[in-house]
Chain A
Amino acid sequence: MSLASDHAVEATSTSAESAEIAGRSLTQIAWRRLRRDKVAMTSLLVVLVIVSIAALAPVITRLVGVDPSSFNDKAVSDAGGLPLGRLGGVSLAHPLGVEPGTGRDLFARLLYGSRISLLIALSATLITVTLGVSVGIVAGYSRGWLDSALGRLMDVILAFPLILILLALSNVLTQRLETTFHLGELVARVLYLILVLSLFGWPYLARIVRGQVLSLREREFVESAVSMGAGTPRILFREILPNLWAPILVYATLLLPTYIAAEAALSYLGVGLVPPTPSWGAMLADSVRYFAVDPAFLFIPGTYLFVVVLAFNLLGDAVRDALDPRAGRA
């Protein structure tokens, strides 16, 4: 074996080529890919607009001069309470028309509905991710009996007939929440939705995280940390957790629209939010009754819900593509 004497040769020869991507972490590379993706940037923009609209709902409605709860019997016909005017009563005073029967402004109700909907979806996503990641890391790293016990718990939760339980127990449990914590009905219902969604959502993420941890813990950098004398907290939070951000982010961005749709579906079924709370699901439930005579009442909230869920989903897909090294689109 001939031994080359200059061990710095190789180090310098490749430094020119790597100078181009100086100091870029995988996150920065992913962000660069994301920025070049037109669908991703469009959906990100739409998502930002949706979130700002929801956050600024009181300001916007005041500027437009509408509010979600005042009745307006001048905007609906005396007989049958159908909106007066075309497209469900679209006018300068009511940009998206009015609700049949009550004459409440649809634009304002849609905006306030998005506030509650996003609040529920965001909180439930946050709790789901926190629970799922914690349990998944512990299960994956501990192996042994703790892993088995947590695995059984997840199996049990996933095997639960979720919808049935929600339907059956929603009224009893919201009332229980109201009385135990002295909450208003609306707060109790919102809380109930958040808790139920996250309680049944976390095991899926926990399984994904557990699987990732099982493979990460076998990587040599973990062993290297042990060989330096690192303790378990450092290994879990400094070595393993940073490698989980990609799957967590992808899961969270795809979970959010699922929860938005789930809240609407539950409210539609009467399990979630109930009138007079402005809620997309409750609105859709109402609109079905009026579909033959006032189709705009179905299409307007329906379209908005569709756009919101689609934008979040497209963004989630794009984030996954950008973070997945095999995407090969960059």
Chain B
Amino acid sequence: MTAVDESNTSVVARRADALLRVEQVQKYFPITGGGLLKRKVGDVKAVESISFDVVPGETLGVVGESGCGKSTAGRTVMKLLDPTGGKIEFEGRDITHLSRKEMVPLRREMQMIFQDPYSSLNPRHTVGSIISAPFKVQGVKPTRGVQAEVQDLMARVGLNPEHYNRYPNEFSGGQRQRIGIARAIALRPKLIVCDEPVSALDVSIQAQVVNLLEDLQDEFRLAYIFIAHDLSVVRHISDRIAVMYLGRIMELAESERIYKAPLHPYTHALTSAVPLPDPRAERSRERILLHGDLPSPINPPSGCVFRTRCPKAQDRCAQEIPVLRELAPGHYGACHFPEERHLI
């Protein structure tokens, strides 16, 4: 395998207006042995050759079981982790090898909302100082002053601006997530990576926070990478969805196609687990249950990483890695035997 041409590798077609473009990005975490010398004994292959892009104002949903590398992928494209391989472009500029210092000005354009509303806010800082931190760090001085700007932001995300001097411990999980959202939109970024922003919240509050994110997206033309561990959360908000399994993208397509006409066996299993609103359809539809555990990312299966649990696996699947290729216009899948299934 010497001559690797474009058609043989997992790359998605270039869209001219892409805000973020990710090509075959890899992130390995080295495992070191004990002792003084810290010899490297292996790698956790958390993200293996993922490719996707995001255009302004778009939401890309990223779903997959816990541990499949979603957070690592989000952090790597944000350059909070250094990619092991691949290429990341932001607004056409290659940022793969920019240093932490060189990234600083770009940080205004890309922000992150974290999963844990408790550990993502410094318990020793007031809400005011948490939301004004981006202004301080980036040296941005709003014309009306930082406090007025921050209080506007608080009102915008549904917090009481009078609570400016309160500490995070006085707020509920949902309110804390709103604080994190206010902080992320403070500098009007173009892209926000939302890493399971509602997973830690009560179901009743999840919808409110998702709605807020959608309103803000319309207002500021934000692009989101919206990470979730099940399809039901991302369906409503996503324009396109990437399905991940063991560090790889299995399928990438418009949201409706992922739900209505998925091509990859793993997506078939995921969509068959989403409850249907119609109880009769829900009872009669066929569920695809996955057997076995998620294999270890330290020693992933040869060939197709999904083959140990795939109901359709054949000999070829163990030998050849299926690349992410365009199976229908704008519909990408990584499978040797894709098959359209109409589940709804």
User: A residues engaging B (CB < 8 A)?
Assistant: 1-12, 14-15, 18, 21-26, 148, 219-221, 223-230, 234, 239, 242-243, 245
Choose among B103, B122, B172, B174 the residue that contacts A243 (Cβ–Cβ < 8 A). B122
How far is A50 from B155 in the complex, measured between Cα atoms in Å? 51
B203-238 at interface with A (beta carbon < 8 Å): 204-205, 207-212, 215, 232-233, 235-236
Told that A26-B169, A230-B137, A245-B124 touch, could you supply 19 new A-B pairs with CB distance under 8 A? A1-B207, A1-B232, A4-B204, A5-B211, A7-B158, A10-B208, A11-B160, A11-B174, A18-B170, A24-B167, A26-B124, A220-B119, A221-B119, A224-B112, A224-B114, A225-B137, A226-B80, A229-B103, A243-B124
Q: Does the CB pair A229–B175 fall under 8 Å? A: no
Q: Which residue of chain A lies nearest to B139 when distances are taken between CB atoms in the complex?
A: A229
Which residues of A have CB within 8 Å of B267? none
How far is A14 from B172 in the complex, measured between Cα atoms in Å? 7
B183 on interface, CB distance cutoff 8 Å: yes
> Which 7 residue pairs spanning A and B have beta carbons closest together?
A242-B124, A229-B107, A220-B120, A229-B104, A7-B208, A221-B122, A220-B114
Using known A-B contacts A11-B158, A26-B124, A230-B137, determine if residue A2 contacts B119 with beta carbons closer than 8 Å: no
Which residues of B have CB within 8 Å of A225? 133, 137
Q: How large is the interface on B (under 10, 10 to 19, 20 to 34, 35 or more residues)?
A: 35 or more
Choose among B111, B205, B236 the residue that contacts A227 (Cβ–Cβ < 8 A). B111
Residue pairs across A and B with CB atoms within 8 Å: the count is: 116
Using known A-B contacts A3-B211, A229-B103, determine if residue A242 contacts B122 with beta carbons closer than 8 Å: yes
Choose among B80, B134, B207 the residue that contacts A2 (Cβ–Cβ < 8 A). B207
B107-146 at interface with A (beta carbon < 8 Å): 107-108, 110-112, 114-116, 119-126, 133-134, 137-138
B178 on interface, CB distance cutoff 8 Å: yes
B165 on interface, CB distance cutoff 8 Å: yes
Which residues of A have CB within 8 Å of B111? 227-228
Which residues of B have CB within 8 Å of A229? 103-105, 107-108, 137-138
Which residues of A have CB within 8 Å of B134? 228
Choose among B126, B178, B183 the residue that contacts A11 (Cβ–Cβ < 8 A). B178
Q: Does the CB pair B175–A11 fall under 8 Å? A: yes
How far is A15 from B127 in the complex, measured between Cα atoms in Å? 14
Choose among B116, B159, B160 the residue that contacts A220 (Cβ–Cβ < 8 A). B116
Which residues of B have CB within 8 Å of A22? 166, 170
Q: Which residue of chain A lies nearest to B169 when distances are taken between CB atoms in the complex?
A: A26
Which residues of A have CB within 8 Å of B138? 228-229
Which residues of A have CB within 8 Å of B236? 1, 3
- Tell me the minimal C-beta distance from B150 to chain A in angstroms: 14
How far is A206 from B235 in the complex, measured between Cα atoms in Å? 49
Q: Does the CB pair A223–B123 fall under 8 Å? A: no
Contact with A along B273-310 (1 / 0, CB 8 A): 00000000000000000000000000000000000000
Q: Does the CB pair A10–B119 fall under 8 Å? A: no
B270 on interface, CB distance cutoff 8 Å: no
